[in-house]
Structure 1
Amino acid sequence: MKCLILGGAGFLGSHLTDGLLAEGYSVRVFDRPNIAKHRHFEKDEKIEWFEGDFTNRNDLVEAIKDCEIIFHFISTTLPKSSNDNPVYDVETNLIGTLRLLELARTNKVKKIIYASSGGTVYGVPNEVPIKESHTTEPICSYGITKLTIEKYLKLYHYLYGIDFCVLRIANPFGEWQRPTAAQGAVTVFLNNALKGKMITIWGDGSVVRDFVYAGDVTEALLKSIPYEGEEKVFNIGAGYGMSLKEIISEIETLLEKPVKVEFVESRSFDVKSNVLDIEKAKNELGWNPKTTFREGLKKNLSWLKTLED
């Protein structure tokens, strides 16, 4: 079975690529031009690399050929920047995904597995942990677009029978996450601490998030392939929350030294607490996160140190 990973050269896509290959799947990675591969691949590994533009229909036509399963990780915006230009968010992410769905329909794709956002689709939670049945009132364009794509996946399933699975992923962290990116607090904080740089925290550090190790997310993605149950939307997280201050404390414990921290004004789109209820994924997918935060942090540190070599 051949799987297409849209955004496969990115952080979660790189983890999934290795996971799929280890399970015996053939993999086709589609991503922007000139993105470095996360590792060297041997000639006998069943992997193809396609470079192109997600918003270009012709590029998608070539990428999707002969693929039965599609994993969709691509997003052109971030939560913090999406409100600055919602039109761009819709034109690139929503319209691009509608083109993808049309091509999936005509190319007889069996299933689309979509990486949605457990941190943004719910908005300000009424209760924590958040179940999938919680009201969805996003407070950023990023979350609105993610949620709208979920609805279109359901529509195409209803109209054309294309199977789908939506994973509302919490805050993933781990190897191959860009340490200088604008997203990914754990890796950015750890990298700055390792290099003796200042860590900037928006607000007073009391904001609580659900941080899940990328290897555990990969396991959930893999279990979504054979799943044939009625449920289509799953929260994927650690199942417990940590404040940003607690992350700093864990980093200091791991590095055995204090770190530099500055606190700046909080951001309007940052909800106070977001922790996902993951019972449905446990019961339906047979999935359970195995990696503790501290274990994941150690793995992340080992990888970050290799970047210095």
Structure 2
Amino acid sequence: MRVLLTGGNGFIGSHVVEALRAAGHHVVVLDIGEQRPDLDWSGVTYVRGSFLDEATLDGALAGVDCVVHAASTSVPATSMRDPVGDVEQNLVGTLRVALGMVRHGVRRIVYLSSGGTVYGVTGSTPVHEDHPCRPISGYGVVKLACEHYLRVFSKVHGFSFLALRASNPYGPRQAASGVQGLVGTTIHRLRQGVPIDVRGDGSAVRDYVYIRDLAVAVSSAVTSPACGVMNIGSGVGLSVREVIEAVAGAMGVAAEMNFEPASPSDVPRIVLDCSKASTGLSWTATTSFDTGIRATLAHAATKSPL
């Protein structure tokens, strides 16, 4: 199949490129950035530009069988700084992708949603896809709205749609900016010997999925007949403190934490029930957190501290 991957130059996207290529697909990447140097791009058609630009999008969609829409211009921590821009770029942008699919007769889309934000505060865990969605961040609201619009478009225009509600991915190539990605940020801060900023008291629990496991799920979703929504995660909850201490322990160093006020948009606990993906995609996360951390550290050891 010929698969268009938006955001293929990013952390998640770069691993999806590898998984799609390993599955025998021809990958077309649409990304605004210059090709990252830490990935083998052989056999990949790279279109540099924005999915928000209709002419660029049309060029990338030509001859495509499936779209994997992974591009996003915001993250949970930044979405409320410019909520209008978030809606204009990510919600309207996703609609532009769907309209482009209609113009070019593309029959399937796999959408990277957010299992960490669309559900909001839940009464219990693990959380199944049938749980009510009450997001408490602008990021979660937009992700959920994109799901709803794609569902409507799929019924009106006859293409198939699957949203993957991914938990918190981590692994090689994760940025260390501190804006998103606790594991990457923790490794970077510990290598620098500086405190790790923690919102709240460090008790917030998240589901962490190794990036290569997530990429395999995305690749499986491309050819699967499954539609609707699916959680993609490890099914294991770890607190912020536990993650930091696990990374520090694996590095053999002590971690100093700088505690800051909690954000009202932070979900206190989210762990995903991924049984639907196990049935529908024949997929489960196979990488334990300890194994994933060791692999991430091994990759980080080959890079100079930023």
TM-score, scaled relative to structure 1: 0.95
- 1:104-158 deviation line (CA, Å, top 9, x unaligned): 0121112100000001101111221111011111111111111111011111111
CA distance in 1, matches of 2:10, 2:109: 18
Q: Which residue of the partner structure matches residue 221 of structure 2?
A: 224
Confirm or deny that 1:108 pairs with 2:105: yes
Number of residues of Structure 1 aligned to a counterpart in Structure 2: 305
Confirm or deny that 1:20 pairs with 2:5: no
In percent, how many aligned pairs have the same letter?
35
Confirm or deny that 1:189 pairs with 2:150: no
Q: Which residue of the partner structure matches residue 9 of structure 2?
A: 9
Q: Which residue of the partner structure matches residue 294 of structure 1?
A: 290
CA distance in 1, matches of 2:49, 2:88: 17
Q: Which residue of the partner structure matches residue 201 of structure 2?
A: 204
Q: Considering only aligned residues, what root-mean-square deviation do their CA atoms show, in Å?
A: 1.3
Q: Secondary structure at the match of 1:93?
A: helix
Q: Which residue of the partner structure matches residue 33 of structure 1?
A: 33
Q: Point out where structure 2 has 5 or more consecutive residues left out of the alignment.
A: none
Question: Mapping of 1:1-309 within 5 angstroms?
Answer: 1-41=1-41, 45-229=42-226, 231-308=227-304
Question: 4+ residue stretches of structure 1 with deviation over 4 A?
Answer: none
Q: Aligned partner of 2:38: which letter? A: H
Q: Secondary structure at the match of 2:299?
A: helix
Contact (CA 8 Å) 1:32, 1:52: kept in 2 or not? yes
CA distance in 1, matches of 2:280, 2:34: 39
Q: CA deviation at 1:181?
A: 4.4
TM-score, scaled relative to structure 2: 0.96
Q: Aligned partner of 1:113: which letter? A: V
Contact (CA 8 Å) 1:12, 1:214: kept in 2 or not? yes
Q: CA deviation at 1:99?
A: 1.2
Distance 1:284 1:40, change over 3 A: closer
- 1:171-200 deviation line (CA, Å, top 9, x unaligned): 000111112241001111122112212211
Q: CA deviation at 1:35?
A: 4.7
Contact (CA 8 Å) 2:3, 2:68: kept in 1 or not? yes
Contact (CA 8 Å) 2:9, 2:33: kept in 1 or not? no
Q: CA deviation at 1:36?
A: 2.3
CA distance in 2, matches of 1:144, 1:50: 29
Q: Aligned partner of 1:4: which letter? A: L
Q: CA deviation at 1:22?
A: 1.3
Contact (CA 8 Å) 1:9, 1:38: kept in 2 or not? no
Q: Secondary structure at the match of 1:130?
A: coil
Q: Secondary structure at the match of 2:142?
A: helix
